[in-house]
């Protein structure tokens, strides 16, 4: 099994090209199910999760063609065509590999009038139930049946009628599923307290490009007037704001300066505002965002929150950086109840972190030392990479398949800006 080896203590400096957003790509891919025509997605990151989702769509009858050499490890263009749906069932052996597979439920139901998807099962970072997905679809006119570990959704008249649903709490995934279901309904649908993440806006923009009628894009009140059918189009996936924020933390912890080329400042304001509070210099350029460390890092207090708040997907990376800040920092995780599994591994590297329920106190500055550590989930993996970049000696991060789910060409990008890092094959 592969691992990532790092010789720490190198200051990072230079340009890093930000890839297409993983969280957006996994939402845009199932849109291919909404039309018989070809959908081409550009700036699609080459990631394990994207490949897994492509395989699931293949099982359902979607053909996928990738432009360029398949061996290249760079973002690429994929054309998806769902002119012949051969199955409306997403089986457990496919869904268990990736929770995002639940996002085929809404578009398949909208297009075919029925959809059966395995329940995703557990999650390493906490319980992420799909009850809001199902309640939203029921509000749009779906009949929902749970049996033998599967969700079976059907439209009684062969087509959803549309309806109104107010989310009791903000849910990105449920908003995405409801949006994709509503665009082909026979009537108007309204989603209240909808998620407002940039990835939701990216989804709405793609659906509109395919012929959907959506009002209120970017707000918590979405109005969708269903149409008879959608057409194909050519669309580029948005840049990954979480990848950009992760490399910004790498710049901070190494006392470096990185230009995050291709990132969109307006989508990263929550992250850049927090990083600025730590003393990092933030510059918005015509190519992206430049992050530089010119002074010792300051301690801060921050809570995760739905967009436009500080993203839960940035919490672990920020925590790693704060291990070297001059004082005590306070972090509160409000989204997932079990997202501090990276803490024991950071402690192995010399970090002093106290966890009390959903709160964590990071005592800095502490000198970090290299160690063999084990990744537990995607963002936890990146926090260990960030810590390893600043640690004295060698760090080896195991279970890097987590990293491969969300960071394209990580070791190549970091090597190019001064890190001593490489991938090593396991025995």
- Does the pLDDT of residue 32 top 90, yes or no? yes
* pLDDT band, very low/low/confident/very high, at 73 (cuts 50, 70, 90): low
Please say if the pLDDT value at position 70 is more than 90.
no
Considering only 67-71, 171-175, 344-348, which range has the smallest mean pLDDT?
67-71
Radius of gyration, CA atoms only, the chain:
22
How many CB atoms lie under 10 A from the CB of residue 68?
10
Q: What average pLDDT score do residues 391-400 get? A: 96
Strands 89-90, 288-292: pairing kind: unpaired
The structure's pTM equals 0.94
pLDDT digits (tens, 9 = 90+) for 292-330: 999 999 999 999 999 999 999 999 999 999 999 999 999
Q: Which of 31, 123, 233, 323 is catalytic?
A: 123
Sign of CA dihedral 289, 269, 275, 310: negative
350-386 pLDDT per residue, tens: 999 999 999 999 999 999 999 999 998 889 999 999 9
**Percent of the chain beyond pLDDT 70?**
96
pLDDT above 50 for 125: no
- DSSP symbol at 237: P
Whether residue 47 is predicted with pLDDT greater than 50 in this model: the reply is: yes
Over residues 8-19, the pLDDT tens digits come to: 999 999 999 999
Residue ranges at the known binding site for phosphoenolpyruvate: 22-23
In the numeric block, the tokens 């002093």 are attached to 352
3-state secondary structure 251-281: HHHCCCEEEEECCCHHHCHHHHHHHHHCCCE
Q: Name the binding residues for UDP-N-acetyl-alpha-D-glucosamine.
A: 99, 128-132, 313, 335
Main-chain phi, psi angles of 368, to 5 degrees: -90, 140
Tell me the CA distances in angstroms from 71 to 1, 66, 75, 249, one per residue in order: 20, 11, 11, 30
- Measured CA to CA in angstroms, residue 302 lies from 196, 293, 297, 364 at distances of 20, 20, 15, 16
Which residues are annotated as part of the binding site? 22-23, 99, 128-132, 313, 335
The yes-or-no answer on residue 249 being catalytic is no
% the chain with pLDDT above 90: 86
- The secondary element (H helix, E strand) that includes residue 78 is strand 76-81
Q: Which helix (H) or strand (E) holds 388?
A: helix 378-390
Q: Any bridge partners for residue 165, and if so which?
A: 191
* Amino acid 7: pLDDT: 98
**How many CB atoms are located within 10 Å of the residue 24 CB?**
26
How far the first Cα of the chain sits from its last, in Å, is 7
The structural domains of the chain, ordered by start, are 3-19+239-424 (3.65.10.10), 22-236 (3.65.10.10)
Alpha-carbon dihedral 318, 321, 322, 326, rounded to 10 degrees: -150
């Amino acid at each position: 099994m592969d691992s990532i080896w790092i010789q720490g203590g190198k200051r990072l400096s230079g340009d890093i090209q930000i890839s297409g957003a993983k969280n957006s790509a996994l939402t845009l891919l199932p849109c291919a199910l909404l039309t018989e025509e070809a959908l081409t997605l550009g700036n699609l990151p080459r990631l394990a999760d994207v490949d897994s989702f492509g395989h699931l769509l293949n099982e359902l009858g979607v053909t996928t063609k990738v432009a360029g050499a398949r061996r290249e490890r760079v973002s690429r263009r994929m054309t998806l065509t769902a002119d012949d749906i051969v199955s409306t069932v997403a089986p457990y052996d496919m869904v268990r590999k990736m929770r995002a597979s639940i996002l085929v439920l809404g578009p398949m139901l909208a297009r075919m009038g029925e959809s059966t998807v395995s329940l995703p099962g557990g999650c390493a970072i906490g319980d992420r139930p799909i009850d809001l997905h199902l309640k939203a679809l029921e509000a749009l006119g779906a009949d929902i049946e749970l049996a033998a570990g599967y969700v079976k959704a059907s439209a009684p008249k062969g087509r959803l009628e549309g309806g109104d649903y107010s989310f009791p709490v903000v849910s990105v995934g449920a908003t995405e599923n409801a949006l994709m279901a509503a665009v082909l309904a026979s009537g108007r649908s309204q989603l209240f307290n909808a998620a407002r993440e940039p990835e939701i806006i990216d989804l709405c923009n793609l659906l509109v490009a395919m012929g959907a009628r959506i009002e209120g894009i970017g707000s918590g009140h979405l109005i969708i007037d269903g149409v008879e059918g959608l057409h194909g189009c050519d669309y580029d996936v948005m840049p990954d704001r979480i990848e950009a924020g992760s490399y910004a933390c790498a710049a901070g912890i190494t006392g470096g300066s990185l230009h995050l080329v291709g990132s969109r400042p307006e989508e990263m304001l929550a992250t850049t505002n927090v990083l600025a509070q730590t003393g990092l210099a933030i510059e918005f350029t015509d190519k992206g965002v430049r992050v530089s460390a010119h002074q010792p890092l300051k301690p801060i207090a921050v809570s995760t929150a739905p967009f436009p708040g500080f993203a839960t997907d940035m919490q672990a990376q920020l925590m790693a950086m704060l291990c070297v800040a001059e004082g005590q920092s306070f972090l509160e995780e409000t989204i997932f109840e079990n997202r501090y599994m990276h803490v024991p591994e950071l402690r192995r590297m010399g970090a002093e972190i106290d966890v009390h329920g959903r709160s964590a106190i990071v005592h800095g500055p502490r000198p970090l030392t290299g160690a063999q550590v084990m990744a537990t989930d995607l963002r936890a993996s990146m926090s260990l990479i960030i810590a390893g970049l600043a640690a004295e000696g060698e760090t080896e991060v195991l279970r890097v398949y987590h990293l491969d789910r969300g960071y394209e060409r990580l070791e190549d990008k970091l090597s190019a800006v001064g890190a001593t890092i490489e991938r090593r094959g396991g025995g």
